[in-house]
């Protein structure tokens, strides 16, 4: 629904409620994010909400970040990086809350990369047209989304969605749809690293995947028909919960030690 990939819920549930080793939970989450992306992207593609070309540009640096994050999970302590990432999420929340009213589409805006896109918004009963800007900055910051994916198994959506929305001027629904399209590729890179390191537990992953399949289809359909302002409120709340959970985990409160 928000383009976050589902991992933000899977990791805390597995590690806190079920007592699963954090690294195994992260590995299972990454695979669930891949399945979630494949399932949810189809709904958004049929609705023409995914900006495929923009997603491919951002995927370049996002994938690089995912490789670094995946290796950090396997070989390095991650608590300090989790603190930094939590603070980044809080900054993204502040940026979304303080964001000025959406800009009206500019007729004839520069579009040298051919990224202009449009989609029908059922909640507005009209077509929404937009041209992403600050592409270079967006690509640079997308590496943090990849780092989040590799480090936490969450797919990068919690960074990617507000990044596209607040930095690049992509409407929230299009940002969520494009993020859903991207996170599957990003999480696949991390999942391969986890698998090669022996962190993937099939007995844990298969039930989690079955659950995410149901949720992804439902969330994608709800996301199409909910007002953008309501979607943003949901996203802010989810990001706040995620940031707080990561920060507490870094200090050994509420989460299993990453070992």
Distance, CA of 242 to CA of 158 (rounded, Å) = 9
Does the structure show a pLDDT above 50 at 259? no
Are 47 and 119 within 8 A, CB to CB?
Answer: yes
* Mean pLDDT within 204-216: 80
Query: Is pLDDT larger for residue 243 or for residue 192?
Result: 192
CA angle (120, 124, 130) in 5-degree steps: 50
187 is written with which tokens?
């999480």
Q: How many of the other CB atoms lie within 10 Å of CB of 218?
A: 13
* Residue 230: closest CA among 170, 176, 156, 154: 176
pLDDT classification of 89: cutoffs 50, 70, 90: confident
Reduced to 3 states (helix: H, G, I; strand: E, B; else coil), residue 179 is helix
Q: How many of the other CB atoms lie within 10 Å of CB of 103?
A: 10
Highest mean pLDDT among 53-57, 94-98, 99-103: 53-57
* Mean pLDDT within 18-36: 84
171-208 residue pLDDT tens = 888 988 899 889 888 889 989 999 998 989 888 888 88
Are 69 and 190 within 8 A, CB to CB?
Answer: yes
pLDDT in the model for residue 257: 43
Does the structure show a pLDDT above 80 at 231? no
Distance, CA of 191 to CA of 201 (rounded, Å) = 12
* Residue 130: closest CA among 144, 117, 120, 114: 117
pLDDT classification of 217: cutoffs 50, 70, 90: low
Residue 209 to residues 7, 16, 26, 173: CA-CA distances in angstroms? 11, 18, 13, 24
47-84 residue pLDDT tens = 889 999 999 999 999 999 999 988 888 887 757 767 77
Does the structure show a pLDDT above 60 at 103? no
pLDDT classification of 15: cutoffs 50, 70, 90: confident
Residue 215 to residues 14, 54, 98, 180, 181: CA-CA distances in angstroms? 16, 26, 30, 13, 16
DSSP letter, residue 121: E
117-162 residue pLDDT tens = 888 887 777 888 888 888 999 999 999 888 878 887 877 777 888 8
pLDDT in the model for residue 258: 41
pTM for the model = 0.73
Q: How many of the other CB atoms lie within 10 Å of CB of 31?
A: 26
Question: How is the chain split into domains, by residue range?
Answer: 7-250
Q: What is the mean pLDDT of the chain?
A: 79
């Amino acid at each position: 629904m928000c383009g976050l990939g589902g991992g933000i819920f899977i990791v805390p549930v597995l590690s806190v409620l079920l007592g699963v080793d954090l690294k195994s939970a992260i590995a299972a989450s990454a695979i669930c994010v891949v399945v979630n992306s494949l399932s949810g992207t189809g709904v958004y593609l049929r609705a023409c909400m995914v900006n495929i070309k923009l997603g491919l540009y951002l995927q370049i640096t996002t994938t690089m970040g995912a490789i670094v994050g995946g290796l950090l999970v396997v070989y390095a302590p991650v608590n300090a990086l989790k603190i930094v990432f939590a603070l980044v999420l809080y900054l993204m929340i502040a940026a979304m809350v303080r964001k000025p009213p959406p800009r009206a589409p500019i007729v004839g805006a520069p579009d040298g990369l051919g990224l202009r896109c449009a989609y029908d918004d059922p909640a507005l009963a009209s077509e929404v047209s937009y041209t992403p800007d600050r592409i270079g900055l967006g690509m640079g910051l997308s590496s943090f989304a990849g780092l989040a994916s590799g480090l936490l198994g969450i797919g990068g959506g919690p960074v990617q969605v507000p990044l596209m929305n607040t930095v690049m001027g992509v409407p929230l629904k299009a940002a969520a749809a494009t993020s859903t399209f991207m996170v599957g590729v990003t999480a696949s890179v991390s999942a391969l690293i986890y698998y090669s390191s022996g962190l993937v537990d099939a007995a844990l992953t298969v039930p989690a995947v079955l659950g995410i399949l149901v949720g992804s289809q439902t969330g994608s359909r709800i996301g199409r028909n909910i007002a953008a302002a309501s979607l943003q409120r949901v996203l802010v709340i989810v990001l706040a919960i995620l940031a707080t959970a990561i920060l507490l985990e870094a200090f050994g409160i509420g989460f299993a030690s990453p070992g």
